[in-house]
Structure 1
Amino acid sequence: MPDNAQDPAMMICYRECLSNLEKFNGIGEQKAVQFINNIERIGKMIDANNNILYCMCTAKLDGEAKRWYENNMALTQWENLKSAFLERFTTADSSSRIFEQLKERKQKPDETVTSYYDAIIKLCHEYDTNMSEKMMISWLENGIKDSLKIQIKRQMKSLPESARTTQIFPKIAKDEQELQKENVHEPEPTSAYMPYFTNTVSTTLRQEENIHTNAVEQPYSPQTTAPHESKIIHQQRTKFNETHRSQPRTRQSPSQQHLSTSRPQSSTFHRNTQQIKSKNVTATGSLNIKTRQTNTSSICQRNNHRTIDCYYKKAFRSGTRDGDDSSNKKINPSIINMIPSQSSTPIYINVQVNNKCQHAIIDTGSAVTIINQQLLKKIYHKKFIYKQKLHKSANCTSINIIGEIELEIKIQGHKTLILADVATNLITDLLVGNDWISNNNVIIDSPQRHIFLIDRYHRIVATAPFITPPDFQSPVLLVNEITLPPYSEKCIDVKIPSSMNNIAEALFEPTPNFHSKQMLLTNALLKVVNNKSRLTIINANDRQRTLSKNTKLGYVSHQPPVNKHLTLPVLSTKGVYEQFLTRNDLQQHLRQECYPQNIRDQIEQLTSHIKDLNHKQQLQQILWKHGKLFDLHQPSIIKATVQNAIETGNHPPIYTPPYRVSYKDEQIQRDEINKLLKQGIIEESTSPWSSPIVLVRKKDGTVRFCVDFRKLNNVTTKDAFPIPRIDDIFDHLSQAEYYTTIDFKSGYFQVGLDLKDRPKTAFSTRDQHYQFTVLPQGVTNGPPAFQRIVSQILGPTRWQHSLAYLDDVIIYSPTFDQHLIHLDDILNRLNDANFRLNVNKCHIAKTSIDYLGHRIEHGNIRPNAENIRALLETVQPTTAKEIFRFVKAAEYYRKFIPRFSIIAQSLHKYAPTTKEQRSQKSQSTPITLSDEELNAFNELKRILTNDLVLRIPDENLPFKIQTDASKIGIGAVLMQIHPNGDLPIAYLSKKLTTTQMNWPATEQECYAIIFAIEKWHKYLDG
């Protein structure tokens, strides 16, 4: 603990504050953000580290919050607990409400600066505990009185960067307020300014430069300049120093006024190639205009015009949302908007990004340029810098940034470079921000619908016209709260809060979570009028559903009229029984008309073996309910992340260069990597770790893409989580009559990997470096990590009616009705976890089933027929490796084979027990089997042709052991006494050592009994 924690007075204060802190129960009016702030504030008294903050927080949880923590004990780090806590107990409504309060909060006419300052700072902390100083200053400036706003901004900008703090803001505001008490004229209120993308913790809006008024100019019309013409645009230098400000100026008429901005050199661009001739302009280009003195403007503090006529006020008030097709902007250093425009459509232009043609949004409200990860995957790129951070968009949603990339953006062949952020959830492909605009002296001419790039000699080097916005998604929200009765259909009013005011055809796509809740919305073409439209929704549940106001139902995008899609008719609100006579009719309609065809085919395939129509209908109803599990259109990541799966301690990174491969294998690698990139399974990496790629040839001639993680595994701390014994699993199936086996689609690849473990999974090709974003196959802790997650998802159902061996899950029940309940329970758990299933390997509600290499049916267990067939088709071995492989495969079924050890005795000598025997050369050396060895090989194959069937142990029946001994080995059989006779449970055999062979027969018989009891004590004890 730090030194100041030893101060008794400080410790007393700390304990008192912690004791008085109200416990957080997660209900009522308690605010999660305020609770976390209080914890961190109290912790600062003793310089508490993250571990102490973690303990303080968990000790103060109660009720629902405490139950939430007990269910999330895996959150062992303070930062992880804090973010998960805020996500759980901070609703989107509260964040949006605070954001709206920040936007609308203005200083009241009779409100003091101090009171306004305290209110804004409180709202900022409630909205984002880590909000930057620049962002808070921006909010303070946004709501301050209009009479103070410009002066405060000017003074704040005159300060050094380090001195611009929230603490200095109230002092400057108070001073300005005192200075303006004698001012008679009040400026008109300014419009609220809202950029297309707002500031975030990571990005801040560039503050406005001082806006200067210029000499009389001709209106600028850049459209008259040829795109590739290097036209000189003369500049008139106007430095606003004290001497210049002392010179009187003449008020110009509105038609003569022209506003422009400049970079730090204060450049002003003219249209004509000749300098403007005026008797008021001297040879040096400075202004020398005589006029009478007027009152001082309270906005720019100059005395050559009144406040009401101030040009700055007009420029500032013309601001609209950045990214809009309008010249009514806040003036920015590199932007000139010529004529006010009323359009609110985002500005789109065509560009080339790394030589790929692409549309882009020009957004002066975004401080940075952002590219969508999906677009980045489609273009050639390099020098990806891994860096995780968050931005916030104007609608208060988070934009997840995973790194930075250097992009080459070309306009009409003119090349520009920019370091862009890479986002995973950007709603557009490319957003060009103020960093690119400023770096390239961009002029945005909204009336002429062009942008212009100006070089350092003030020549137009490139131009790009605005284009029609591409397909752009906007959310569809519910206008009013609605309640839907069971099995009913209703027409509802929806709103689209975007620029889609009046569109004849907008394509609606519902969010997928409604389908899992049996709330049905279909794709449809909507007519949008005044941002509103109508939709039809079906409640296919047996209970009523209530949807709150502003529930997000899906998205709409503008659709060209030539496209043909399903149009959903607008129906009047009616009960379902006016449309369908019975519930069965409704279900049939939903399945035949509303669900996707592939889901119908899959469910029919899974239930085709059910002969009882009533049973089949009941089973299909459960599968329809969880149809999302079979949706494989896109890869899915479950709602659980593997923590500490690759713990290497302080071991330095291990780098193994990639193996050289043939051109054919190189193409296979490239194809496989492209597939994994598209699925999001891997990503580009800058990790110092690297493991080589290995292509493994399979029996069918195809190639499996693998990564050799052996060196990484050698330094990884092993996970001790247990994998269940296969015989223990089978022992629990004795009373079951119905079985369901579930296979996960690419099981490991559905489990997200912790960010800190991803760099350790890196691998290299000839010229690229990648890392896994999900749990890769081949890491030593992969099986226990996956087993832990599946076990947690199954929860208390394990060993009751479900079991899992890695990604092989089995559900078992004694009756069909119970099996339906158990199946619904497990599918619901998997659905909640966001798992996806491999339909072709799933088997539902069967009375006999193959599981873990065995056939299970009515309490009996047999070897899997396919595995036995493979053993029987084995040709006579010619190498030690082939013999050993056959013996090990047969040994998997040794409990089915009496006297297995004695029969296979002569073949065991080929097992590689020394380093020399394990060498590739020794294993591949041709051999000839002796007569004894050949007889053993053939005898094992002969036994395998029999119907090898054993009974699964029943704990309610007594057990019986029979033993035998010979000169070379012992054997035993475990049986149970059934009404129709003794049935074998398992066979056991063991070869005797040389010493044991010399024992008397009675001792060998006794040894057989003791060995059998020790082996099967699990069944015999008690």
Structure 2
Amino acid sequence: TRVLAWSTSTSPPPDLAGVPKDYHDFADVFSKAKASTLPPHREHNLKIKLEEGTTPPIGTIYSLSPVELQALWAFINENLATSFIWPTSSPYAALVLFIKKKDGSLQLCVDFWGLNKLTKKDRYPLPLISDLLDSPSRAKIYTKIDLRHVYHLIQIAPGDEWKTAFRTHYGSYEWLVMPFSLTNAPATFQCFVNSIFADMLDSSHKQHVQEVLHQLQLHGLYAKPEKCEFHSDSVEYLGYHLSPAGLTMSSEKVKAICDWPEPQKVKDIQSFLGFTNFYCQFISNYSDIVVPLTWLTCKGAPWNFSEECRRSFNKLKQAFTSALVLTHFSLEAPITVETDASDYAIASILSITSDDGQIWPVAFYSHTLTALELNYDTHDKELLVIFKAFWTWQHYLEGSAVPVDVVTNHKNLEYFSTSKVLTWCQAHWSEFLSQFNMVIQFRPGKLGAKPDTLTRRWDIYPKEGDSDYAQVNPQNLRPVFMQEQLATSLCAT
């Protein structure tokens, strides 16, 4: 039998200083005190189902510093007071560790790696960041609501609490609410949120916010008023700055890139590229710019931060400071995909044309060629970039009512769709591209500077029919088939 502590004292009213009066009827939603109480059992309790015949591992207790012990004691007392955790006699328990937060304070984490490995995975789909950023494309006003103790608002399913046990210097405890770092926590919470907002009707912005707050109030979810924004013409969202004009990088992230110190070792390069890769869709030719830096991360490559690497590093930082605004995609607007290929990379731009004839970029794409792709001849590289662009932006381009204009500076691609003889690779690309409503248009290289000013040496590629063509392009020594035969073969496989 478990006895839970409940406070009978009247909690102080929430601070509604930043909340418009239209929403003061939902003051409970912003209550810090109510967010610190045990939530009710719901249909969407977190269930932890283990693989057959498995048991969670037993974690080790590590030595902690006096500061960490103090933080651990405070964590235990705080969560016992809210009934989020409870003493346990579970024979299995995870270890705890600390990480430093930005402000220097300590964050306790329970290492559920062993438990997660044995847990049957909940495959409930999580939304893609790209879809979340596209969904408010026609919005003019934004409101952002930040939930408090977001995972702690859902209880562990009865009978599964013992699986969440963790060991400390002050005893073993188990979670009664959903902790962070459990493998199925994101899917469980997403399913819960989707269920409570499933029936919301389209309405004006204020009515919409009231409906959201009503659902939060109804289901016992609580927000942080100090982190909410109401009726704003722009908002920071998922690391981006979202406005009616489109997407830009968060100013905080741009500053972080600009202040990044020069790399001193391979791990520094990997950290920098890992950070910039998240925002590469803002940078035209990103993959081509980072080639010298990428080479340094190759296995066995000697460390030599040369002048070429330094130029690449500084050029990339400069590119982020001058990154364009990416406009919101619109199915009603004419769509253009511009492509280009160089010796080492391919690049493309997805754009739409506004009513006044202005062309606005929606996204940039670039890709460093693999060892196999480096051997492609010019024609195949130019075709590869079209395939990659449509693969990447398939969710935008599939089902377009008007033909998508594909602009290339390789004239032979204009006749690709009518070609009767294709290699295996070309047949695969053709099969995929055939589902799109697209028209390939030729634009000479000197006019096609927008996707890139990549250097191409057309003279180094022998022309098909030349005596040395097969020698320079051995990958083209493959059987060729009529397009109809290939289609039959592909369908059969």
Q: TM-score with structure 2 length normalisation?
A: 0.75
Which residue number corresponds to residue 280 of structure 2?
894
Aligned to 1:950, what secondary structure does the other structure show?
coil
Which residue number corresponds to residue 306 of structure 2?
930
How many Å separate the matches in 1 of 2:4 and 2:33? 22
Alignment of 1:744-783 (within 5 A): 744-783=147-186
What's the CA shift for 1:947? Answer: 4.2
Whether contact under 8 Å (2:56, 2:114) holds in the other structure is no
Q: Which of residues 85, 89, 95 is equivalent to 1:682? A: 85
How many Å separate the matches in 1 of 2:335 and 2:377? 28
Which residue number corresponds to residue 786 of structure 1?
189
Is it true that 1:605 corresponds to 2:18 in the alignment? yes
How many Å separate the matches in 1 of 2:267 and 2:153? 35
Instruction: Give the 3 Å change call, closer, same or farther, for CA 785–849 of structure 1 in structure 2.
Output: same
Is it true that 1:880 corresponds to 2:266 in the alignment? yes
Which residue number corresponds to residue 722 of structure 1?
125
How many Å separate the matches in 2 of 1:910 and 1:675? 47
What's the CA shift for 1:890? Answer: 0.8
Q: Which of residues 28, 46, 54 is equivalent to 1:628? A: 28
How many Å separate the matches in 2 of 1:1020 and 1:691? 47
1:950-990 CA-to-partner distances (Å, cap 9, x unmatched) read 10101221211111111221111000010230100000111
Which residue number corresponds to residue 997 of structure 1?
374
Whether contact under 8 Å (1:965, 1:971) holds in the other structure is yes
Is it true that 1:658 corresponds to 2:35 in the alignment? no
Which residue number corresponds to residue 977 of structure 1?
353
How many Å separate the matches in 2 of 1:928 and 1:678? 56
Whether contact under 8 Å (1:658, 1:691) holds in the other structure is no
What's the CA shift for 1:644? Answer: 5.2
Q: What is the identity percentage for the equivalent residue pairs of Structure 1 and Structure 2?
A: 28
How many Å separate the matches in 1 of 2:131 and 2:340? 26
Whether contact under 8 Å (1:884, 1:910) holds in the other structure is no
Amino acid at match of 2:50: T
Whether contact under 8 Å (1:744, 1:835) holds in the other structure is yes
Which residue number corresponds to residue 987 of structure 1?
364
Which residue number corresponds to residue 1021 of structure 1?
398
Whether contact under 8 Å (2:68, 2:106) holds in the other structure is no
List alignment gaps of at least 5 residues for structure 2: 400-493
Is it true that 1:843 corresponds to 2:223 in the alignment? no
What's the CA shift for 1:775? Answer: 0.4
Which residue number corresponds to residue 86 of structure 1?
none
Which residue number corresponds to residue 954 of structure 1?
330
Which residue number corresponds to residue 731 of structure 1?
134
Instruction: Give the 3 Å change call, closer, same or farther, for CA 641–748 of structure 1 in structure 2.
Output: farther
Which residue number corresponds to residue 386 of structure 2?
1009
1:806-851 CA-to-partner distances (Å, cap 9, x unmatched) read xxxxxxxxxxx71011111111111100111011211112111110
1:555-596 CA-to-partner distances (Å, cap 9, x unmatched) read xxxxxxxxxxxxxxxxxxxxxxxxxxxxxxxxxxxxxxxxx7
How many Å separate the matches in 1 of 2:132 and 2:297? 29
Alignment of 1:855-870 (within 5 A): 855-870=241-256
Amino acid at match of 1:948: L
Q: Which of residues 82, 103, 110 is equivalent to 1:707? A: 110
Instruction: Give the 3 Å change call, closer, same or farther, for CA 867–645 of structure 1 in structure 2.
Output: farther
Whether contact under 8 Å (2:126, 2:187) holds in the other structure is yes
Q: Which moved more, 1:640-649 or 1:684-693?
A: 640-649
Whether contact under 8 Å (2:50, 2:120) holds in the other structure is yes
1:901-937 CA-to-partner distances (Å, cap 9, x unmatched) read 1111232345588xxx9xxxx9xxx955222222221
Aligned to 2:390, what secondary structure does the other structure show?
helix
What's the CA shift for 1:882? Answer: 2.1
What's the CA shift for 1:1004? Answer: 2.2
1:660-711 CA-to-partner distances (Å, cap 9, x unmatched) read 2233322221122111211221111111111111011234321111111111
How many Å separate the matches in 1 of 2:330 and 2:347? 22
List alignment gaps of at least 5 residues for structure 1: 1-386, 388-401, 403-421, 428-472, 474-508, 513-595, 608-619, 802-816
1:877-916 CA-to-partner distances (Å, cap 9, x unmatched) read 2232222111111111111101111111232345588xxx
1:25-62 CA-to-partner distances (Å, cap 9, x unmatched) read xxxxxxxxxxxxxxxxxxxxxxxxxxxxxxxxxxxxxx
1:597-621 CA-to-partner distances (Å, cap 9, x unmatched) read x54x52x3234xxxxxxxxxxxx22
Q: Which of residues 647, 653, 664 is equivalent to 2:49? A: 647
What's the CA shift for 1:778? Answer: 1.2
Aligned to 1:778, what secondary structure does the other structure show?
coil
1:413-443 CA-to-partner distances (Å, cap 9, x unmatched) read xxxxxxxxx4656x9xxxxxxxxxxxxxxxx
Whether contact under 8 Å (2:46, 2:188) holds in the other structure is no
Amino acid at match of 1:626: F
Aligned to 2:198, what secondary structure does the other structure show?
helix
How many Å separate the matches in 1 of 2:285 and 2:372? 20
Alignment of 1:375-386 (within 5 A): none
Which residue number corresponds to residue 827 of structure 1?
213
Instruction: Give the 3 Å change call, closer, same or farther, for CA 638–951 of structure 1 in structure 2.
Output: farther
Which residue number corresponds to residue 457 of structure 2?
none
1:695-752 CA-to-partner distances (Å, cap 9, x unmatched) read 1123432111111111111111111111100111111211111111111111111211
Whether contact under 8 Å (1:637, 1:834) holds in the other structure is no
Aligned to 1:866, what secondary structure does the other structure show?
helix
Whether contact under 8 Å (2:147, 2:221) holds in the other structure is yes
What's the CA shift for 1:1015? Answer: 2.1
- Larger RCO, structures 1/2 (Cα 8 Å, 6+ apart): 2
How many Å separate the matches in 2 of 1:656 and 1:719? 24
How many Å separate the matches in 1 of 2:38 and 2:212? 18
Is it true that 1:942 corresponds to 2:321 in the alignment? no
Is it true that 1:695 corresponds to 2:70 in the alignment? no
Whether contact under 8 Å (1:655, 1:691) holds in the other structure is yes
Aligned to 1:795, what secondary structure does the other structure show?
coil
Is it true that 1:743 corresponds to 2:120 in the alignment? no
Matched pairs, number: 395
How many Å separate the matches in 2 of 1:674 and 1:636? 14
Alignment of 1:275-424 (within 5 A): 387=1, 402=2, 422=3
How many Å separate the matches in 2 of 1:677 and 1:865? 39
Whether contact under 8 Å (2:112, 2:182) holds in the other structure is yes
Amino acid at match of 1:1008: V
Amino acid at match of 1:646: I
Which residue number corresponds to residue 490 of structure 1?
none
Instruction: Give the 3 Å change call, closer, same or farther, for CA 708–994 of structure 1 in structure 2.
Output: closer
Whether contact under 8 Å (2:288, 2:345) holds in the other structure is yes
How many Å separate the matches in 2 of 1:942 and 1:954? 29
Whether contact under 8 Å (1:735, 1:859) holds in the other structure is no
Q: Which protein is bigger by CA-based radius of gyration?
A: 1
Runs of 4+ more than 4 Å apart: 909-913
What's the CA shift for 1:657? Answer: 2.6
Amino acid at match of 2:144: T
Amino acid at match of 1:647: K
Alignment of 1:28-67 (within 5 A): none
RMSD of Structure 2 on Structure 1 (CA):
2.5
